[in-house]
Chains A and B, each alone.
Chain A
Amino acid sequence: MSVEPFNRLVKLAARAFYDDITTKGDNQPKTGRSDNRGIAVVVLDALTRRQWVREEDLAKDLKLHSKQLRRTLRFFEEEKLVTRDHRRETAKGAKIFSAAVAATVDGQQTAKEGEEKIKLHTHSYCCLDYAQIYDVVRYRLQRMKKKLKDELENKNTVQEYICPTCAKRYTALDALRLISLDDEYFHCESCNGELVAESDKIAAQEGGEGDDNARRRRREKLKDMLQKMEVQLKPLIEQLSRVKDLPVPEFGTLQAWEVRARAAGRAANGDSSGIDPSRSSLGLGYGGSSLPFVGDTKVEVDLSGAEGKGEVIKSENESSLKVLPPWMIKEGMNLTKEQRGEAKQESKMDGSSASLEFTDDKKSLIENDDKKNIQDEYVKAYYAALLKKQQEIEEAAKKHDLSNAHSLNGLSSMSSSRQVGMKSKRDEDEGDDDVEWEEAPVASNANENYKVDLNIQADASGDDEDDDIDWEEG
């Protein structure tokens, strides 16, 4: 809910339409001193910086007499720019209120509050009604344009007639009733006065009869006015179109707003100390006009600020979900692969094959670290065993070489197999190493699946892993 574009709209509209509005009655003489034009703009501007505000407070802030302010506000209420609410608070309630306030709140405010409360019984509040303002301004523009255009084209306008003596108005639709028998003019029904056409009201102010010259002049003037209007109201129109699709800030009724503002104020203060509950209870008990120091706009800013912070935290959480630094990852943490980050895994993994396996197998990630540890040990043990076995094999092969005729063949096949492929290797292994290899699987029973994976990877990759096949057999 952004109020700013709407505030701008209000300010533009105020300057466009209410700049020279004077709230003085017509009977009062207009001296330079009492000329209060521009007050309307000041009041509207002040209201854009507030939400619901008590009129006395506003008057004090603007250093206006409250009567003058009220007159202006009443005018705006009629113009449908402002909603007002009047609430009657009993003197007793006010006294209790002030007493209670004195007990809780600091002195300066107490005095102010109490004094006002006791003196005034009916309090008026006012607030801008943005939704309505938007409509009102659009309607006003539309009417202005239509009026000028109609006048300009003299088209589709129902001619109006006015009786100069009794000021009664007629339209051309009444014409049939108005024609008199004795002359060619229309006559008023009530006073029989001669009616005059009333269409040239805008331009005919400087006199001039309905002759051609005057008409032409009028047309020019109207055209000029229309153009001027377009130019001068351009910012306002632009603002209107900008605001068109925005959600309208809605403050609700005074009561609803108060409840919300109070909650927001408490949230913003953070400390729900003794002041707040007392105030809220008072507010509920005595008409709820107890928001003296929660600056209206301030409340909103705080609220949005809090929200913003929350969002920031949230976003941080989200980002942290993505990649955790390695030192933050502990055993047993339920993290996804992405959280850990690929690079880290690989660095931990000695065997590239293992890392590959991990990236592929998401389920195993939970016991990731356990596995890694085991794997490391496993690999070490494996290499030790392998070394040992190779020596044994070589010795055995030598023996075989000596004893058996085809042992030479076997040796060659074995050595070749180490480089080339596993099949031959397996064949070779089948011979005598089974027993030894079986030990390791017993030790690491739980890691069956891991082992299998490792082996499969090994098929694809390099020399060393060739031996892994043996594990599979085990």
Chain B
Amino acid sequence: MFFHIVLERNMQLHPRHFGRNLRENLVSKLMKDVEGTCSGRHGFVVAITGIENVGKGLIRDGTGFVTFPVKYQCVVFRPFKGEILEAVVTMVNKMGFFAEAGPVQIFVSNHLIPDDMEFQSGDMPNYTTSDGSVKIQKDSEVRLKIIGTRVDATEIFCIGTIKDDFLGVINDPAAA
């Protein structure tokens, strides 16, 4: 699920950036630092959409670095248990398959794949129904449901299922 929230961060800026475009430098450094990171609490920071305010800078003794408290708006993505996501399959093996929904990785074990789909090994390993009409392989797009999340301080990993109504392949690259 996506959220638009305000976060705060203390930015350290090198003295060489002090000048006319200090603020631009600060913002670009913030984007570089923050976007794409993951915190267990808020999820993945997808994008910074704006700066709320920049507080007073504090010059560090010895280094000359200046610390600015920056409040910024950002879009975060946090997967929840029970959430339905669309994801791209990245890897298929005997144990199940891995998929990615943006930054989050999801594992679907073979027990959570419908019983009528069987693993086919080969140079393009895949899960296929007996009539061959549905095939899950690398780069397939699947709709899945998250049934468990593992949230570490800097990492979120999910397990999902496609063994439910309206879940499964939504777009097959091989067919296209």
Interface residues of A (CB under 8 A from B): 154-159, 161, 172-176, 179, 184-186, 197, 199, 210, 212, 215
Taking a contact as CB atoms under 8 Å apart, the answer to whether A184 and B157 are in contact is no
25 A-B Cβ contacts within 8 A? A155-B147, A155-B164, A157-B111, A159-B96, A159-B109, A172-B96, A172-B107, A172-B109, A172-B148, A173-B107, A173-B150, A175-B95, A175-B96, A175-B107, A175-B109, A175-B157, A175-B159, A176-B98, A176-B105, A179-B93, A184-B93, A197-B95, A197-B110, A197-B111, A210-B110
CB closest chain-B residue, reference A211:
B118
Which listed residue, A154, A172, A175, A186, touches B163 by the CB 8 Å rule?
Answer: A154
Alpha-carbon distance A174/B155, docked complex (angstroms): 12
Alpha-carbon distance A175/B159, docked complex (angstroms): 9
Most chain B Cβ neighbours within 10 Å, of A158, A161, A185, A212: A158
Taking a contact as CB atoms under 8 Å apart, the answer to whether B161 and A155 are in contact is yes
Given A157-B111, A197-B111, A173 and B148 contact (CB-CB distance below 8 Å): yes
Most chain B Cβ neighbours within 10 Å, of A157, A159, A185: A159
Chain B residues with CB below 8 A from A215, complex form? 115
> 1/0 contact trace for B112-123 toward A, CB 8 Å?
100100100100
Chain A residues with CB below 8 A from B121, complex form? 184
B91 CB-CB contact with A under 8 Å? yes
Which listed residue, A155, A176, A184, A197, touches B109 by the CB 8 Å rule?
Answer: A197
Alpha-carbon distance A197/B111, docked complex (angstroms): 9
CB closest chain-B residue, reference A173:
B150
Chain A residues with CB below 8 A from B109, complex form? 159, 172, 175, 197
Taking a contact as CB atoms under 8 Å apart, the answer to whether B157 and A176 are in contact is yes
| Shortest beta-carbon distance from B32 to chain A in Å | 26
CB closest chain-A residue, reference B150:
A173
Taking a contact as CB atoms under 8 Å apart, the answer to whether B95 and A184 are in contact is yes
CB closest chain-B residue, reference A159:
B109
B94 CB-CB contact with A under 8 Å? yes
Most chain B Cβ neighbours within 10 Å, of A175, A212, A215: A175
CB closest chain-A residue, reference B81:
A156
Taking a contact as CB atoms under 8 Å apart, the answer to whether B91 and A158 are in contact is no
| Shortest beta-carbon distance from B87 to chain A in Å | 14
Interface residues of B (CB under 8 A from A): 91, 93-96, 98, 105, 107, 109-112, 115, 118, 121, 125, 147-150, 157, 159, 161, 163-164
CB closest chain-A residue, reference B116:
A212
Alpha-carbon distance A186/B94, docked complex (angstroms): 9
Chain A residues with CB below 8 A from B107, complex form? 172-173, 175-176
Known: A155-B164, A215-B115. 6 other contacts (CB 8 A): A155-B147, A159-B111, A161-B95, A172-B107, A174-B150, A175-B95
Taking a contact as CB atoms under 8 Å apart, the answer to whether A199 and B115 are in contact is no
Which listed residue, B93, B125, B159, touches A173 by the CB 8 Å rule?
Answer: B159
CB closest chain-B residue, reference A186:
B95
Alpha-carbon distance A155/B94, docked complex (angstroms): 19
Alpha-carbon distance A30/B98, docked complex (angstroms): 48
Taking a contact as CB atoms under 8 Å apart, the answer to whether B147 and A156 are in contact is yes
Alpha-carbon distance A175/B157, docked complex (angstroms): 9
Taking a contact as CB atoms under 8 Å apart, the answer to whether B147 and A158 are in contact is yes
Chain B residues with CB below 8 A from A155, complex form? 112, 147, 161, 163-164
Chain B residues with CB below 8 A from A172, complex form? 96, 107, 109, 148, 159
Alpha-carbon distance A159/B159, docked complex (angstroms): 9
Chain A residues with CB below 8 A from B161, complex form? 155-156
Alpha-carbon distance A212/B129, docked complex (angstroms): 12
Taking a contact as CB atoms under 8 Å apart, the answer to whether B163 and A184 are in contact is no
Chain A residues with CB below 8 A from B150, complex form? 173-174
Which listed residue, A156, A174, A179, A184, touches B125 by the CB 8 Å rule?
Answer: A184
Alpha-carbon distance A184/B147, docked complex (angstroms): 23
Chain A residues with CB below 8 A from B98, complex form? 175-176, 179
Given A173-B159, A175-B159, A176-B157, A184 and B112 contact (CB-CB distance below 8 Å): no
Which listed residue, B111, B118, B148, B157, touches A154 by the CB 8 Å rule?
Answer: B111
Considering the complex of A and B, which 10 residue pairs feature the smallest CB-CB distances, nearest first?
A184-B93, A173-B150, A159-B109, A175-B107, A172-B159, A184-B94, A156-B147, A158-B148, A172-B109, A159-B111
Alpha-carbon distance A179/B121, docked complex (angstroms): 16
Most chain B Cβ neighbours within 10 Å, of A172, A197, A212: A172
Most chain A Cβ neighbours within 10 Å, of B96, B121, B159: B159
Chain B residues with CB below 8 A from A210, complex form? 110
Which listed residue, B91, B111, B157, B159, touches A199 by the CB 8 Å rule?
Answer: B111
Given A155-B161, A155-B164, A156-B161, A185 and B115 contact (CB-CB distance below 8 Å): no
Alpha-carbon distance A184/B125, docked complex (angstroms): 10
Chain B residues with CB below 8 A from A197, complex form? 95, 109-111
| Shortest beta-carbon distance from A213 to chain B in Å | 11
Alpha-carbon distance A174/B109, docked complex (angstroms): 12
Alpha-carbon distance A451/B91, docked complex (angstroms): 113
Chain A residues with CB below 8 A from B95, complex form? 161, 175, 184-186, 197
CB closest chain-A residue, reference B93:
A184
Alpha-carbon distance A184/B121, docked complex (angstroms): 10
Chain B residues with CB below 8 A from A157, complex form? 111, 147
Given A155-B164, A156-B147, A185-B93, A173 and B157 contact (CB-CB distance below 8 Å): yes
Alpha-carbon distance A223/B59, docked complex (angstroms): 69
CB closest chain-A residue, reference B113:
A154
| Shortest beta-carbon distance from A157 to chain B in Å | 7
Taking a contact as CB atoms under 8 Å apart, the answer to whether B112 and A154 are in contact is yes
| Shortest beta-carbon distance from B135 to chain A in Å | 17
Alpha-carbon distance A210/B157, docked complex (angstroms): 26
| Shortest beta-carbon distance from B7 to chain A in Å | 26
CB closest chain-B residue, reference A195:
B95
Alpha-carbon distance A185/B92, docked complex (angstroms): 11
| Shortest beta-carbon distance from B90 to chain A in Å | 11
Taking a contact as CB atoms under 8 Å apart, the answer to whether B115 and A159 are in contact is no
Alpha-carbon distance A210/B159, docked complex (angstroms): 20
Alpha-carbon distance A212/B107, docked complex (angstroms): 22
